[in-house]
Amino acid sequence: MGDAAEKPLGDSYELFLGPAFPGLGNFAVKLRMDGERILSAKADPGYLHRGFEKLMEYRLPIQNAVLSDRICILEALAWNLIHAEAVEELMGVEPPERAKYIRVIMAELSRIQSHIIWYGVLSVGIGFDTGFKLAFGYRDYILDLFEMTTGGRVYPAGYICPGGVRQDLPSGVVKRIPEVLRKMEEMVDLEEVDNPIIPSRLEDVGVLSLEDAIRLGATGPVLRASGMKTDVRKEEPYEVYDRFEFEVPVRQEGDGYARYLVGIEEIKQSIRIVKQALREMPEGDFIAREFRKPKLNVRLPEGEVYVRNEIGRGEAGLYLVSNGGTSPYRVKIRGPSFLHMIPVLEHLLKGAQIADVPAIYWSLNICPADLDR
């Protein structure tokens, strides 16, 4: 690694990966190559930029709830939740108890399906296509639940809206969730099958030390795989997370395989949370009375607020400023993938082999959509 970095750049060449390359998903990396070894990497985002922060300044909070789905396609409900929490904190509204449980169930199901996609794309990145097909097949069971609850498979259209949730959890869904969770346990068993491909491609690949992880701003599963026990759900519990028992998986190795194992363990913990939430879910209202019917003239009180949540990819945040109008004055979205995809990825790619690029890239559990937002 040291030799490669010191070598003069005379006979090196530049390799463009992405952005229209299916292996990286709307994101580009410029690699300075010496043969097959990467001398330096430069992340080049921008291909998927949609300007949410500016768009949100022109819309009402209820319209922004619909827009917040699109921040990250793979975890739409988690982003819904962050936006709803920010607006509620600014307005001083408390959602009903039942809504909080429904939100936790939805957010955790969203985390499970996002982690299953992570397994799928990581598998295809290391040349294990079966994993990809398994993952997308099993993910559909959760999408069926989303379709029954929110009316859309991928986009819930602001299901978790300021004040609660837009519709009650149908009784059919409550009955079906345990069945789907059994399927997810089956999927976890399949992920844990003694498969030599995954450790042989991921062990000692993309090693991120704890010191570097903190310095570069890693959060979530990436930081936990490097040896730090951290989870916003435990440290600063939002909604009703403080009422559930779950563990925060930690591993010390910091390589791709450690991140993969942390991901599997997190699916198991999410299944635990959903089971507990289903058992304890109270009856009652699912949305605060003043939000039951969408209104056009709801004013956001003057002030600013920052909320942070633990989503599948790490720590996500939303900063909302209002000067008393119906739309926010300024919105800043903190996507967890931003730091994973620029500093962390550039750091890990330096000195790696070209064949390891997809393995390192996908082992970070990243989503170009919430980087570019």
CA distance 77 to 80: 5
Question: Shortest gap between Cβ of 155 and other proteins (angstroms)?
Answer: 8
Query: Which tokens sit at 1?
Result: 């690694």
Q: Do residues 370 and 71 make contact, with C-beta atoms less than 8 angstroms apart?
A: yes
Angle at 262 between CA 82 and CA 364, to 5 degrees: 70
Per CB under 8 A, which region of 144-152, 226-234, 266-274, 363-371 contacts other proteins? 144-152
Question: Shortest gap between Cβ of 63 and other proteins (angstroms)?
Answer: 4
Per CB under 8 A, which region of 20-28, 94-102, 154-162, 206-214 contacts other proteins? 154-162
Q: Which of 62, 78, 165, 181 binds other proteins (CB under 8 A)?
A: 62
CA distance 142 to 353: 36
| 1 binding other proteins? (CB under 8 A) | no
Please give the helix or strand (H or E) that residue 62 lies within, else none.
helix 61-67
CA distance 24 to 121: 10
Stretch 288-317 residues interacting with other proteins (CB under 8 A)? 293-294, 296
| 53 binding other proteins? (CB under 8 A) | no
Question: Shortest gap between Cβ of 73 and other proteins (angstroms)?
Answer: 13
Please give the helix or strand (H or E) that residue 138 lies within, else none.
helix 129-150
Q: Which of 157, 248, 278, 288 binds other proteins (CB under 8 A)?
A: 157
Stretch 124-143 residues interacting with other proteins (CB under 8 A)? 137, 140
Categorise residue 365: left if φ over 0, alpha if ψ from -120 to 50, beta otherwise: left
| 217 binding other proteins? (CB under 8 A) | no
Task: CB nearer to other proteins: give 60 or 333.
Answer: 60
| 268 binding other proteins? (CB under 8 A) | no
CA distance 267 to 136: 15
CA distance 181 to 212: 36
Count of residues interacting with other proteins (CB under 8 A):
23
Question: For 287, which DSSP code?
Answer: B
Per CB under 8 A, which region of 54-62, 85-93, 217-225, 343-351 contacts other proteins? 54-62
In the block, which residue shows the tokens 């994101």? Answer: 27
Residues lying near other proteins in the complex (CB under 8 A): 59-60, 62-63, 66-67, 137, 140, 144, 147-148, 151-152, 155, 157-158, 166-167, 170, 172, 293-294, 296
